[in-house]
Amino acid sequence: MANSTENFQLSNPIHFLALGFGSGLAPKAPGTFGTLAAIPVFLLAAYLSNVYYISLVVIMSVAGVYICEKAAKDAGVHDHGAIVWDEIVGFMITMLLMPINWLTILVGFALFRFFDILKPWPISYLDKNCHGGLGIMLDDIAAGIAAWLCMWIIFI
């Protein structure tokens, strides 16, 4: 029962956000579904000025520490697979200052998932050595930065 989702309730606003609006409840590949849920969030935020977009990502990151920690405690599992708010933030970082079109979204999605799944160093170090809500968020923030660097090389 370690990865059971029975302690999550979508009616709880913290759980709703932590579970990526419910996308994290997908029975297979919840992180991928969480990243898919990030695409409409990105599209809504993409037309903000750069200052507002970056501010939104910072707020989402800081709030994510609390959101992920609270949801993990409620679930009784440190980094429960259904918690995908960190994937949403990671994808938002990946897409920072990128042109808005289907190709950048597709490549950004693929690059973020690559770094989030394979966790090359230093992402793997953060994943193994940072705990709590900050630990849940940090490896995906790092994956988002790595994907963003690749995106910068490809598209900018």
The four Cα atoms 124, 130, 133, 139 give a dihedral, to 10 degrees, of -20
What was the pLDDT predicted at 1? 39
The 8 Å CB, 24+ separation contacts for 17-21 are 17/67, 17/85, 18/67, 18/68, 18/70, 18/71, 18/82, 18/83, 18/84, 18/85, 19/71, 19/82, 19/83, 19/84, 19/85, 20/84, 20/85, 20/87, 20/88
Q: Record the pTM.
A: 0.95
Res 77: pLDDT: 87
pLDDT value at 55 more than 60: yes
Q: In the predicted model, what is the mean pLDDT of residues 52-61?
A: 98
pLDDT confidence tier of residue 3, bands split at 50, 70 and 90? low
Contacts of 116 (CB under 8 A, 6+ apart): 31, 35, 87, 90, 123, 139, 140, 143
Residue 25's CB: how many other CB atoms inside 10 A?
Answer: 17
Please compute the mean of the pLDDT values over residues 46-54 and round it to a whole number. 97
| 70-78: average pLDDT | 91
Tokens of 150: 């690749």
